[in-house]
């Protein structure tokens, strides 16, 4: 047990060959103080101790504040650049998001942030959408993106990768990406309009046949498909030359013991994926 109340088993860490100064982690539902339905999963049911980090979920704000304090203590950072995520494609500097918070102004409306200064923490919150962390191997710049299907189809990953590469002074092909837990390909049922947004409106550089394979029709389900969000994310990253991609194999819906899931539970908490540069 750490001083913050979290244990290493409560967190996930990317496994990627990048500079040690790149620090990254993702929370689970364990290690906090929230009560059900934001609690920790224990012996097949919820119990107190959930690490819900979302203020917009209906949880007690005091519990969320305590959970965020535990996260900062565990990570050894002073501030996290929280965003008001809107399923769009805006990418901001994490420093600007921190400035908004310091002035107690409304959070910046964006779905990704980037940084190249030590100690500036990029963060996104999720509960089925995919968190994607990006950096260059030398640890000159980092970024975090919130990739639900709308943002993914509109280009949030391409934009974030391009801005991280620009800050790093490197081509996008030099970047590494980590795909955090999200709704998996056996759980993500979507309508034909979602498939259409990816297949028919795919931009240049996104393989059409590979995109089609990311959607599996469900016979007798009235035009419904199972969508492979990690596969779609990899295709969008490939579009800008990001081929060093890890993660993407953990399903939030299918693992209630570890992850919050909006699709599964509706009333639920939020996890966070963080990335920053150490001094």
pLDDT 10s digits, 228-238: 999 999 999 99
pLDDT 10s digits, 110-120: 999 999 999 99
Residues of the chain with pLDDT under 50: 1-3
* Cβ neighbourhood burial of 200 (10 Å; 0-12, 13-18, 19+): exposed
Q: Which of 157, 116, 163 is nearest to 248 (CA)?
A: 157
CA distances from 170 to 135, 139, 232, 279 (A): 10, 11, 24, 20
Alpha helices in the chain (DSSP H): 61-75, 94-102, 149-154, 156-168, 192-199, 208-213, 229-239, 262-265
Structural domain contains residue 227? no
Structural domain contains residue 58? yes
Quote the CA–CA distance of 214 and 226 in Å, as a whole number. 8
Number of domains in the chain: 1
* Tokens of residue 72, six digits: 């900062």
Quote the CA–CA distance of 111 and 123 in Å, as a whole number. 9
Q: What is the CATH number of the domain that holds 107?
A: 3.60.140.10
* Tokens of residue 27, six digits: 């929370």
Structural domain contains residue 234? no
Structural domain contains residue 232? no
Structural domain contains residue 239? no
Structural domain contains residue 177? yes
Provide the domain limits for residue 104.
Answer: 8-183+244-277
pTM for this one?
0.96
CA atoms in the 13 A half-sphere facing the CB of 55: 10
Check residue 61 and give its pLDDT. Answer: 97
Q: To 10 degrees, the CA torsion angle through 85, 50, 186, 8?
A: 100
Structural domain contains residue 207? no
Check residue 4 and give its pLDDT. Answer: 54
Q: Which of 258, 231, 267 is nearest to 51 (CA)?
A: 258
Tell how strand 30-34 and strand 175-179 pair up: unpaired
Structural domain contains residue 216? no
């Amino acid at each position: 047990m750490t001083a913050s109340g979290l244990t290493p088993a409560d967190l996930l860490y990317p496994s990627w060959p990048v500079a040690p100064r790149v620090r990254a982690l993702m929370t689970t539902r364990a290690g906090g103080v929230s009560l059900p339905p934001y609690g920790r999963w224990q012996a097949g049911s919820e119990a107190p101790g959930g690490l819900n980090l979302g203020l917009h979920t209906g949880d007690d704000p005091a519990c969320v504040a305590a959970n965020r304090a535990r996260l900062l203590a565990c990570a050894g950072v002073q501030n996290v650049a929280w965003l008001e995520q809107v399923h769009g494609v805006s990418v901001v500097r994490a420093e600007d998001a921190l400035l908004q918070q310091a002035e107690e102004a409304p959070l910046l409306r964006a779905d990704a942030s980037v940084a190249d200064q030590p100690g500036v923490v990029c963060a996104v919150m999720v509960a089925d959408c995919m968190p994607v962390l990006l950096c260059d191997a030398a640890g000159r710049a980092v970024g975090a993106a919130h990739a639900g299907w709308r943002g993914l189809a509109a280009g949030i990953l391409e934009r974030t990768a391009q801005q991280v590469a620009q800050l790093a002074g490197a081509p996008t092909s030099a970047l590494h990406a980590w795909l955090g837990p999200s709704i998996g390909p056996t759980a993500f049922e979507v309508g034909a309009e979602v498939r259409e947004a990816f297949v028919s409106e795919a931009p240049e550089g996104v393989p059409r046949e590979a995109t089609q394979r990311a959607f599996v029709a469900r016979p007798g389900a009235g035009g419904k498909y199972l969508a492979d969000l990690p596969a779609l994310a990899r295709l969008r990253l490939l579009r800008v030359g990001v081929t060093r991609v890890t993660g993407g194999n953990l399903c939030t819906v299918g693992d209630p013991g570890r992850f919050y899931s909006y699709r599964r539970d509706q009333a639920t908490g939020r996890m966070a994926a963080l990335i920053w540069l150490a001094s």
